[in-house]
Amino acid sequence: MTVLSVNVNKIAVLRNSRGGDAPDVVRAARACLDAGAHGITVHPRPDARHIRHGDVLALSVLCRERGVEFNLEGNPFAPPRTGYPGFLALCEQARPAQATLVPDGDGQLTSDHGFDFERDGQALRPLVAALHDLGCRVSLFADAGGAVQAAAATGADRIELYTGPFAEAFAAGDALAALAACADSAGHAHASGLGVNAGHDLSQANLGAFLATVPHVAEVSIGHALIDEALYAGLDATVRAYLRILAGA
């Protein structure tokens, strides 16, 4: 069955908007795990606009105590700065089960594209090796329809399909081409020995259709939509709703 990793970035956004410690990111992550989520994802950015250095370390401890996956996302090329030691340094401190490399710039509101593996592969290769030395499984953010086979040459274990275009097409009522691109990329990745993750704008509305068409999906990382839905139904009920979709896929 495809597993669910809940991204709790948006909990930190709400906390940071007011200052202080409420809502508590670790408490929210614990509630998601209590409801059956298989892991926790965070994507700390250098400007600390949501998840902070301390959150990463605290969530790492929680996931280790629970025996679940901690998935740490970030741009390995972003330089260190005050409050942000750099992605590899964070991984060295937190030792996530999975490190997901994402080519996002400081100014991006959210991740919106994958790596160009033919261009970036040589630079990614030593970073993948360094993360393997830390005991991390390595996933690389990838555009559906791109040359995902080239990701295998970096030594990575998985790709994460960027599903934003699919979600946008689904909302517009015309997702066939986007689904076909995702399915094609998942098939090529699997044939190249890569595992397949997926994430970005997946929701209860579109997740079932995605999994019904796209093969080999080991894990979905869902944050924005899940937290949105949880404002009305609660975290426990919302996580359980996603798990029912995954179980029925």
Whether this prediction's pTM lies above 0.85 is answered by yes
CA distances, 103 to each of 66, 73, 113, 137, 165 (Å): 30, 10, 7, 18, 17
Domains, the chain, ranges and CATH?
3-248 (3.20.20.70)
Q: Which pLDDT does position 167 carry in this prediction?
A: 98
CA torsion, points 8, 27, 66, 55, in degrees to nearest 10? Answer: 60
Q: Which tens digit of pLDDT belongs to each residue from 55-78?
A: 999 999 999 999 999 999 999 999
Q: Which pLDDT does position 48 carry in this prediction?
A: 86
Mean pLDDT in order along the chain per 10 residues (249 residues): 97 95 97 98 93 97 98 95 94 98 74 83 97 98 90 97 98 98 97 97 98 98 98 98 97
Could you give the residue numbers annotated as active site? Answer: 43, 73, 200
Inter-residue contact 61 to 26 (CB < 8 Å)? no
Q: Which tens digit of pLDDT belongs to each residue from 137-156?
A: 999 999 998 888 899 999 99
Q: Identify the bridge partners of residue 46 per DSSP, sorted by sequence position.
A: none
Q: Which pLDDT does position 149 carry in this prediction?
A: 86
